[in-house]
């Protein structure tokens, strides 16, 4: 479910991007947007969105953190994927 976020994202959030990839620590999700579109409150709010998504996943049992952010992107890390 988490891996399909990127492909579905564009259908609902035109003008923005979402990419998900497996990394050694878990799953990295990177959001991108035009300058000034996402205020800092929204960037931090997506932590709750990804937490809710992970709560319904059979492949994830860990923590989610905002690892980096700029005025046009944010990267979130979902740690502790359950290996299938």
pLDDT digits (tens, 9 = 90+) for 13-68: 678 888 888 899 888 999 999 999 899 999 999 999 888 887 777 767 778 899 99
Cα 24 from Cα 27, distance rounded (Å): 8
For the cut 60, the answer to whether the pLDDT of residue 2 exceeds it is no
**Given this model, what pLDDT does residue 77 score?**
93
Average pLDDT over residues 61-78: 92
Cα 57 from Cα 42, distance rounded (Å): 23
For the entire predicted model, the pTM comes to: 0.80
Burial class (CB in 10 A: 0-12, 13-18, 19+), 78: buried
For the chain, the domains span: 1-6+32-72
């Amino acid at each position: 479910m988490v891996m399909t976020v990127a492909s579905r994202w564009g259908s609902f959030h035109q003008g923005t991007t979402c990419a998900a990839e497996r990394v050694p620590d878990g799953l990295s999700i990177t959001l991108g947007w035009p300058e000034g579109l996402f205020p800092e409150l929204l960037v931090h709010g997506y932590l709750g969105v990804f937490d809710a998504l992970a709560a319904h996943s059979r492949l994830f049992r860990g923590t989610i953190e905002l690892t980096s952010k700029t005025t046009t992107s944010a990267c979130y890390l979902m740690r502790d994927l359950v290996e299938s």
